[in-house]
Amino acid sequence: MKNILKKKLEEKHIKILMTIVMAVFICIAIFALSFFIFDAVTKKRPAQIRQECTQLKEFEWVRSDKRVPVSLPCDLKTAKGENVVLETILPESITEDTWIDYYSSKETRIYVDGELRKEFNPRINTIIGGTVKSFHMYIELYPEDSGKVLRIERKGEAFGENSFREMYIGNSLGLIARILYSDSLFFIFTISLLIVSPITIGIGVFLRVYKKMKSPITAIGIGVLFVALWLIFDSQMYQFAFRSYYIDGTMSFIMMLLVPYPFAYYLNMLQKNRYRQNYIFLLIILEIASIVFFIIHFTGTCDFMTMLPVMMIFTGLVIVGAGVTLFVDFKKGLYKEYRFSFIGIIGFMFSCILEMIFLIAIENRHDGSFIIFGLYWTLVLGIVHQLVELREAKAEKAIAIRASETKSNFLANMSHEIRTPMNAILGMDEMILREAKNNEKIMKYATDIKSAGNMLLAIINDILDLSKIESGKAELIETDFEICSVINDLINITRKKALDKGLTYSFDADPNLPIRMHGDEIRIRQIMLNVMNNAVKYTVTGGISINVLLEPNIGDEKAMMIVSVKDTGIGIKDEDKEFLFESFSRLEETKNRNIEGTGLGLNISNKYIEMMGGYIEVESEYNKGSKFTLYIPVTVVDPTPIGDFTDAVRKMNEEREDYRTIIMAPGAHVLVVDDNEMNLEVICGLMESTKIKVDTALSGPEGIEKADHTRYDLIFLDQMMPGMDGVTTLEIMRSKYDMRGVSVIALTADAVVGAKEYYLSKGFDGYLSKPVKSEELEKTLITFLPKNLLLSKDEIERIAIKDDERKDEKNKTTESLPGILVIDSDPESLKTVKNEIKDTYKGTFVTDIDKANKFLEKHETKYIMISRELYEKKMRNEVENG
Ligand code: ADP
């Protein structure tokens, strides 16, 4: 309590202190402001600061026959080429530090009392075509010049039009202050535009390059830059800031010719190319005119200054054209697409008009403040426009990401949903293949189902891959792998297809290929298989040849595996090559209609190979053939060369033969948990030949319950089960029972990259993807069942022989049994009868009389057994029909 009170008091003190600090600050600020206002208003200037500047206005124009009084500024009309001489009497009271400020660009001599004080000859130092712009010349006066004659001799203009600006007399401070007052604010604002515009351009380029956004502000930035340069070159301050006056006279004209381009580009971008042709047309006219202006100016025929009105007309033409498009957009309501920039440009145009009005209304006014304001206005609104677009793009991106996530989820779910029934189809089909060995027709049907089913699975996998890649979730899983095994499998898959089509198939592997490498084996297989399959698919005559070699040491301890696949197939048109790696893009669709494919393979391959840091090179000639070269970076693990490839493969296959013994483990007890009965049937069927005792459970809790009673050697646990999923089931099992030595394998339908790692991290020992393939299942059993439960090769053979004998025996006995046709509409009773008579009769079981009649048309049977109900029905029918 005491503490809290103390704290509250402290807080109160701090607040009082803060208020005092703020109050003192405000007082000082108010004092400073009042001090300034008092000083400024009462204009108390110390007498030492002398700022003198008055206009020297009244002159006499000295002509050969008379003296004409003139008042500066003025325009004097002379005969062509006649020089102009002006004279005036200097004031009586000239003190130290007195100067005359004379503003001109013409060849001039200035005399005081007949003594030459200043000479300016613009022809000295000019570069070709350089125009000297007007600049300030300063002539120093001394006390003894008081009341003397000031004489200005100026070379006459070729056309007899001589323009004189204001002339000033004063001390240096006064003359400089005058220029600062008249021009500096304009100059500073223009310079600031010169700084802001490159920043705007930079932001625009950044957005374009990194955000892949359209960035009209780049164009407006460039436009503003040119106008700013134009104004600066034209400014009176230029000579003080840059100490040059020769070329800048020309530069301002060149800038003026350049200005319309970025603005037209800017507008065109905003208007989404609606008036592109009009702009191109106007700019071409301006370009032709500009070239003519350049030639005329730089050959010295006539300078830019003289051509200015004509140049203005051409520049104005583009501006008028732009104005018309803006008007049309306004009328159609299209301006709303770029309303901020629209207001910006209209503001700029308005500022230009104001500037012109003031220029005409007030003679010799050189200000440009309206234009500067207009430029800032456009620039700011252009940036606002870009910011709005950026925000919208962000929102759109978020929506797109959400949509893409939804798509990915949908695809993942869909693939799961399809893979689950496919598991049943392919599993059952596998059992048909095993059981129907003697029936060729059924075997053919089952083989067709298998190949179509596998193709469907491949398509689903492709779509799943694509969605992973697009959502950025695809990752590489690198392991050590044996290149011989990869190549051998791929050859096994593709060679048969090629030979079946009557194509030649040649394969060559560099004997120096290292035995073991490190990389994403599954993806490498996938990429190679895709390209090899394509070569077979898109080749009608001739053949395909494959070559694998390794370029060692490409840096980063990596080597480059180079796989080239060449075919003499249909080839690819040059114009189609750019679409080759796009998703769902199949070239020449009509021609290739009969060739199966989705147009996804190369897209996926290309993306995976890029993730690995490699690339695909394509050379192809239409109707002649193609060559796809894969550059795959790998790490060499064991550099021992593979030597002759055929030998290496033979050796590897021998090792594999040993490994691939048929497995049998009559002593093993396995539990399979899956909510789908058909899947349970498939997996049990696939394990039938292994003689393993298999228990099944239809849910997680049922599995847990079963594991309570029995100690299983191996448990297969489905992931996606309603109620309790596999991961939870496993957690409960592991917490409840001693599961040491019991391996648990995850069964899952989502063939997602990284799924295996996920399940291992969740405590599973292995992972089996659905549809379960018999070889994979066998491999899993061999790996995870306790070794002492697996029968040896000899034992298996012995049992297999015995089984065959028993089967033959059974077949024989069944053949010799008397035939019986059982008719009953209730399938359950049929099943019971079937079990009852299986050892005494060779039975045929049907559910209605029609089927029985059909059977009897073609077969003979010794006995017929019919249910009472059907028998009575038959009798009734016969009586009714007479
Ligand atoms: P698809 O599943 O259609 O084969 P891919 O992405 O693998 O999809 O290939 C895209 C397209 O590129 C094919 O549809 C085919 O038009 C063309 N193509 C690919 N490989 C070859 C080849 N070796 N020869 C000719 N055309 C090919």
Per-residue tokens: 196: 């802001």
For a pocket test of ligand 1, which of 580, 584, 585, 606 has the largest count of ligand atoms closer than 8 A to its C-beta? 580
Host H or E run for residue 581: none
pLDDT of residue 726: 87
For the chain, percent helix, then strand, then coil, each to nearest 5? 55, 20, 25
In this structure, are residues 622 and 572 in contact, taking their beta carbons and an 8 Å threshold?
yes
In this structure, are residues 577 and 625 in contact, taking their beta carbons and an 8 Å threshold?
no
Q: Are strands 168-170 and 108-112 parallel, antiparallel or unpaired?
A: unpaired
Ligand 1 site, residue 570, Cβ cutoff 6 A: yes
Query: What distance in angstroms lies between residue 560's CA and the mean position of ligand 1's atoms?
Result: 24
Pairwise CA distance, residues 542 & 503, whole Å: 6
Pairwise CA distance, residues 528 & 551, whole Å: 17
- Ligand 1, closest atom to CA 588? 16
In this structure, are residues 564 and 627 in contact, taking their beta carbons and an 8 Å threshold?
yes
In this structure, are residues 729 and 705 in contact, taking their beta carbons and an 8 Å threshold?
no
Ligand 1 site, residue 266, Cβ cutoff 6 A: no
The protein residue with its alpha carbon nearest to ligand 1, atom 17, reads 587
Ligand 1 site, residue 568, Cβ cutoff 6 A: no
The protein residue with its alpha carbon nearest to ligand 1, atom 21, reads 534
Query: What distance in angstroms lies between residue 131's CA and the mean position of ligand 1's atoms?
Result: 65
Ligand 1 site, residue 530, Cβ cutoff 6 A: yes
Pairwise CA distance, residues 56 & 71, whole Å: 9
Query: What distance in angstroms lies between residue 501's CA and the mean position of ligand 1's atoms?
Result: 17
The protein residue with its alpha carbon nearest to ligand 1, atom 13, reads 586
pLDDT of residue 503: 92
Pairwise CA distance, residues 682 & 424, whole Å: 6
Query: What distance in angstroms lies between residue 587's CA and the mean position of ligand 1's atoms?
Result: 7
Query: What distance in angstroms lies between residue 403's CA and the mean position of ligand 1's atoms?
Result: 29
pLDDT of residue 659: 42
pLDDT along the chain (882 residues), means of 10: 65 89 95 87 69 89 87 85 89 89 88 90 72 83 91 84 88 88 83 91 90 85 89 81 69 86 90 90 92 88 82 86 92 90 91 80 68 89 89 88 80 76 82 78 83 80 79 79 84 87 90 89 90 93 93 82 94 87 74 74 91 93 93 91 79 54 82 85 84 90 88 89 87 85 83 69 85 83 87 79 72 71 83 79 82 80 84 82 68
- Residue 563 phi, psi (nearest 5): -115, 120
Q: pLDDT digit string (tens) for 321-332? A: 999 999 999 999
For a pocket test of ligand 1, which of 538, 576, 588 has the largest count of ligand atoms closer than 8 A to its C-beta? 538
Tell which residue, 700, 767, 760, has the closest CA to residue 736: 700
Query: What distance in angstroms lies between residue 533's CA and the mean position of ligand 1's atoms?
Result: 9
In this structure, are residues 692 and 667 in contact, taking their beta carbons and an 8 Å threshold?
no
Per-residue tokens: 439: 């029936």
Q: Are strands 168-170 and 543-555 parallel, antiparallel or unpaired?
A: unpaired
Sheet containing 135-141: order of strands: 53-55, 168-170, 98-104, 135-141
The protein residue with its alpha carbon nearest to ligand 1, atom 7, reads 601
Ligand 1 site, residue 225, Cβ cutoff 6 A: no
The protein residue with its alpha carbon nearest to ligand 1, atom 4, reads 597
Tell which residue, 87, 101, 103, 156, has the closest CA to residue 364: 103
Tell which residue, 755, 784, 785, has the closest CA to residue 769: 755
Q: pLDDT digit string (tens) for 288-322? A: 999 999 999 888 788 787 888 888 888 888 888 99
pLDDT of residue 660: 44
pLDDT of residue 241: 78
- Ligand 1, closest atom to CA 599? 8
